A and B are shown apart, each in its own frame.
Chain A
């Protein structure tokens, strides 16, 4: 199977933190959980993939295309979803969508209407009037309406109530069945036990494991605790 996203040797150095030789790949129709504790490098990695931050080294390929030289083409085919830091919080969804869709030749208005309906989104509202779960659903609706083949989600389930989380994971599973690849970062391991095919585990900027969920040989939380647990004396 062709990899939708391939990352090799990704490095990025900050004064107090560095991504060190990060590598993983994800295939079409697969859900990959990108796990690690807070500050492990998950968001930095995702930003490097999307050219929001500049890696100092490494090779990133989406759909076989080099990310550095094909950003415009690649962004047509992917969707990026963040949970809390949304955009244009006070503008109406209708306006945001109207403006956004002009940038996507592949925009499918029927699909957009369908997802608004399925997710129960009211176009008359602004993002700030939506719950965290609804914000994520709106971002997903936007991404799917331009027929994104890969969704990259940064902590989409953080701050969501258990019912909303469950709904979102159900949506992921259904999208994966339709061939959409999903890469989502989280530190909530129970989310992954429910739906992830693959897991990439990052610790202090280094990849500890990347592969199938079953390949871990134990529940994800146990695996993480085995690597992260340390004695704390207060």
Chain B
């Protein structure tokens, strides 16, 4: 797997996949739907799929002495590395927001989402959706990805909107607090579980679909 990951990172990836991790800095923007930062991270990964298609990377990879499913696993490994880095730096940003910034300045009366544990959970849902909807959609043909990406955008927009609405519902205000609350922890755990389930399902579905593809 390390060879495949190195291949993905050195040969197949678009530089934008790395650069777009910067969008996690959106966590510091007040009065803004900061979850779109997670979408932009995935948009960066999308560019690597585009590059892979244009450079015939799928055929190149399929001709290497590896199993066909390993072509899929290489793409997932790369995606998880980018999402992992984005999540790790987001943990740091959330720690700064919660422990240092707190309710200072505009963060104290932020009508939109604050960067807290619930935000991290929502991020993981957006990452998991990418792995299930987009990647598994791509591996239907290993060529066409427009439709899968549009569906992913629509679902992500709904998730971002719901996440922004949720903390305005009476009783759920703690979801958007700058201080820790158990509701946030529940949202984070739900995000971790959903991410794991969607990523695993996306991987298995992609492997199954790619096995049937004629290149």
Q: Which residues of A contact B (CB under 8 A)?
A: 47, 50-54, 71-76, 80, 85-91, 95-96, 98-100, 102-104
Contact = CB atoms under 8 A, between A and B. Distances in A.
A75 B63 contact: yes
B6 A102 contact: yes
Nearest to A102: B3
Contacts of B62: 51-52
B67 interface: yes
Main secondary structure of the interface of B (DSSP, over half): helix
Interface stretch (B51-59, B115-123, B172-180, B201-209): B51-59
Contacts of A104: 65
A52 B59 contact: yes
A3 B3 CA distance: 32
A88 B56 CA distance: 7
A183 to B, nearest CB: 15
Contacts of B57: 87-88
B64 A71 contact: no
Interface of B: 3, 6-7, 10-12, 55-57, 59-60, 62-68, 212, 214-215
Contact of A86 (B3, B7, B56, B212): B56
B5 to A, nearest CB: 11
Nearest to B66: A72
B55 A87 contact: yes
Given A99-B11, A102-B3, 4 more contacts: A47-B215, A85-B56, A87-B55, A102-B7
Contacts of A99: 6-7, 10-11
B157 to A, nearest CB: 34
A178 B6 CA distance: 34
A89 B55 contact: yes
Given A87-B55, A88-B57, A103-B3, A50 B11 contact: no
A75 B64 contact: yes
Given A52-B214, A88-B57, A76 B65 contact: yes
